[in-house]
Chains A and B, each alone.
Chain A
Amino acid sequence: MSTAVHLDEITKRFPGVVANDDVDLTVERGTVHALLGENGAGKTTLMNILYGLYEPTEGTVYVDGEPRDFNSPADAIEAGVGMIHQHFMLVDPMTVAENIVLGNEPRKWFGTTVDRERARQEVIDLSQRYGFDVNPDDTIEDVSVGVQQRVEILKALYRGAEILILDEPTAVLTPQEVEELFEVFEELTAQGKTIIFISHKLGEAMHAADDITVLRDGKNVGTVKADETSNEELAELMVGREVLLEPKSAPREPGEQVLTVENVHADDNRGIEAVTDVSFDIREGEVFGIAGVDGNGQSQLVESITGLREPTSGKITYKGRDITRASRRSRIDDGMAYIPEDRHERGLVMDFDLVQNGILGSQHSSKFSSGGSIDWSTARGHAERIISEYDVRPPHADADAESFSGGNQQKFIVGREFEREPDFVVATHPTRGVDIGAMEFIHERLLDLRQQGKAVLLISSKLDEVQGLSDRLGVMHDGELMDIVDPRNTTEEEIGLLMAGEHPESAESETDAADASVGDAR
């Protein structure tokens, strides 16, 4: 086994920040190497150096044992290094084949014309060689994200990449697609390719990688073999202290009903019914979880509750008041906070800075405005408080929201919503895309709210998250609330069956929705 990549004492400084501090990294040929770390640990910067997008301030990059001085990605490609970015670099209306050969089109007729037949054949040959299932004639915008990612990989391979860098490749994939991606990794390494992938998910690194290097605050804090380490050891390396991987919540006696949902039906944007006859209630001091595969009506249900969608029928009562048709603002003013599922579309205005984003939803409250004009110094103090309390990095209140990584955007949204001092929080995928340190923090804050007697509605596709945090757990399938169970006395298998739309056999007692006792049945 030979060394494919060796980074020797790489340091990268940006004005005011040391992104990489004296990092050594050695990657063996034909292996999968995971680069693990929290958001902002310097993983992507390090890989951008290897890919020639940045020049290191100090240190040397060796590829195939040769010292390299990459001035641009073109140099890196030349040396057989390819990178698949988190946001795909694909042209949506073009076909798979057109995208793969873009910039290196095979020509005919004295170079005047693209030889489409040859391009197509080359793409077919390439995908067959690596066992990829892609149709060269499909248009990018018509294929799934998983296929788009494979197209990106093919694009790198087409350019002769021997070393593939993937930046957070699983962030956008479904669990099945993640599995398929890892199979692709195996196929590629079997044919001698080397893979480096960036992740902040422990489980993935353990599952897919041969070696794992952990970065923290720009430093390499250790390289370990995946089969000689444990989740706990990795978590500690990443965060620098012991981490509770499983959220823990002590049972608590719930109080008054805060929210009641009765027989709610709602349509999706196409006018097809997405929520069918859903009823449940949430009490003070309670976390009510909703589990289910994404796209089973959770979004429409949440939108009905938060006032972004009008239910077609049914009734929603909040603090004793019928809010079925109440405006969004009246709900905010009445202490309802909302962590939206899509932070780009609903959570933040991407080209506003954090000061402006921090007051979104409260811009009319007397806290920030008087006589129709906004008190910007208070708004700034507010944003800075969120940034420091929720550890948003880098701590620049004046930077546009889009310049932050996804995890930090999420922390800022969570901070903004919790700072409203709400009575009721609707949290949709609150930890999607954040690292484990921040995840633990968000979980703790949710449980704090519960401890203070607030109500929480938690929607997540991560089963361990909803199961660990919830006092009661509703499971949705195809728009219906299949059942409400006690998450502490229900196995993952039972919940999984409900998510798939089947009732576990013995749970035939059709209990009242408000009354959860079904899970006890064994």
Chain B
Amino acid sequence: MSTATIDQLRDTELSYRALLAVGAIAVFSFIAFFGLVFPESIWADLLGILISRSTLSSALRLAVPITFAALGGIFAEKAGVINIGLEGLLIISAFTAVITTAVIGPGVTILGLPAIWIGFFAGVLASLVFSLIFAVVCIRFKADQIIAGLAVWLIALGLAPFAATVYYGGVNTDNVGTTLGTWTIPVLSDIPFFGAFFDAGPAVYMMLVAVPASWFVLNRTAFGRHIRASGENPKALDTVGVDVSRVRYAGVLLSGFLSGIGGSALSLGLGQFIGNNQTMVNGKGFIAIVAYLFGNYNPLGAFGASFLFAGLEAVQIRLQQVPGYAIPDSLIQTIPYITVIVILALVGRTRIPQAAGEHYDTGEDNR
């Protein structure tokens, strides 16, 4: 490809992102305009929802599992292993976190750690174990990554409600009666609207740290460069003496670790695991994949996309509570998913790591 066409490509990519931003602002101004002009209309209600602090608050909370899974997906895929099983990792960690807390007993503390935090780490551990199995199957035994990833999802989707049924006699666990709660930072939390950032659950703070930290690791550390090289041209990495398998294991385990935080935070934020249908995770792992594709494998972009989806979800939930409109709830509930589809269609230009999904054999192709 000539330099000229690459430049053209970049230009179009830039303009398309700019277009998206302009579009978002246009939609918001549209709503704001009609909301202010017609205070009795649906636009006014919508505007009220958009600028309310509680919407921001719940958007942040809802963004946690998506963001963590997306960050994990970035590390795995950048290293060359497409982890489509993020959904399964969220489910298994969400379930394990609750059941562990329940078994220990919500009020108990061990070595100064409250049960709920032990549950939290148990969830992360469960997700790590699943991702390790996934990594071994994909890297050591060279299974198809998509199929192995689907297996992770399906196993978790069956296992968690099954174990709940064994223990509680129903697919939902009982509520453990305690949650991770909120950590409120004095003074800062009094800021209107943006105070929501300083009056949030511990997982929200973890997320706000994990996003820039992931960016730093990927772009500024040698490990991050090895991850990227491993997904782009593993042979280049191998020939300079870095073990490609080890880098890929690290990438996949990181995806398990991060997804585990997301899953634990999801269920412990509520104090209960819900196992109906698609479980309480309900596609968040798949939305996470869309989020990091949309963010072009950049942790900051992935967070932006996750936050957008979570924001739409929050608006959607609030919209259902607004009385007086004859819009069926089930239609409103589709808003985040329609957005996902539209964005997926737009996202075509994402640059996927060249060697993602391919097995790497040392010594292959030496002739």
Contacts and interface: CB of A to CB of B under 8 A. Distances in A.
Contact of B225 (A45, A92, A94, A405): A94
Contact of A107 (B222, B235, B351): B222
Given A44-B367, A45-B367, A91-B232, A114 B220 contact: yes
Interface stretch (B44-52, B122-130, B237-245, B259-267): B237-245
Contacts of B367: 44-45, 403, 405
Interface string A100-123: 001111010000111010000000
Interface string A129-142: 00000000000011
Contact of B240 (A92, A103, A114, A405): A103
A99 B233 CA distance: 11
B6 interface: yes
B236 interface: yes
A200 to B, nearest CB: 16
A360 interface: no
Contact of A270 (B5, B233, B354): B5
Interface string B1-14: 10101100000000
A116 B6 CA distance: 25
A77 B354 CA distance: 27
A418 B232 CA distance: 39
A107 B222 CA distance: 8
Nearest to A107: B222
A89 B233 contact: yes
B241 A103 contact: yes
B241 A77 contact: yes
Nearest to A111: B222
A94 B221 contact: no
A142 B8 CA distance: 12
Nearest to B230: A91
Given A89-B236, A91-B232, A103-B242, A114 B366 contact: no
Interface residues of A, number: 33
A44 B229 CA distance: 25
Interface centre among B3, B229, B235 (most CB of A within 10 A): B229
Contacts of A114: 220-222, 225
A105 B225 contact: yes
A74 to B, nearest CB: 5
A89 B235 contact: yes
A90 B236 CA distance: 6
A28 B112 CA distance: 71
Nearest to B3: A142
A168 interface: no
Interface centre among B6, B239, B242 (most CB of A within 10 A): B239
A443 to B, nearest CB: 28
Interface in A2-53: 44-45, 48, 53
B117 to A, nearest CB: 27
B48 to A, nearest CB: 44
Interface in B1-53: 1, 3, 5-6
Interface centre among B5, B222, B366 (most CB of A within 10 A): B222
Interface string A228-248: 000000000000000000000
A54 interface: yes
Contacts of A44: 367
Contacts of B228: 91, 93-94
Contact of A93 (B220, B221, B232, B366): B232
B220 A113 contact: yes
B284 interface: no
B351 A103 contact: no
A91 B236 contact: yes
Contacts of B61: none
Interface in A150-190: 155, 159
Contacts of B248: none
Nearest to B5: A270
Interface in A475-503: none
Given A94-B228, A142-B3, A73 B241 contact: yes
A102 B220 contact: no
16 contacts: A73-B239, A77-B241, A89-B233, A89-B236, A89-B240, A91-B237, A94-B229, A102-B229, A102-B242, A103-B241, A107-B222, A113-B220, A113-B221, A114-B225, A142-B3, A142-B6
Given A102-B240, A103-B237, 6 more contacts: A53-B363, A90-B236, A94-B225, A98-B225, A102-B226, A112-B221
Interface of B: 1, 3, 5-6, 220-222, 225-226, 228-229, 232-233, 235-237, 239-242, 351, 354, 363, 366-367
Q: Which 5 A-B pairs have the closest CB atoms?
A: A103-B240, A89-B236, A105-B222, A74-B241, A91-B232
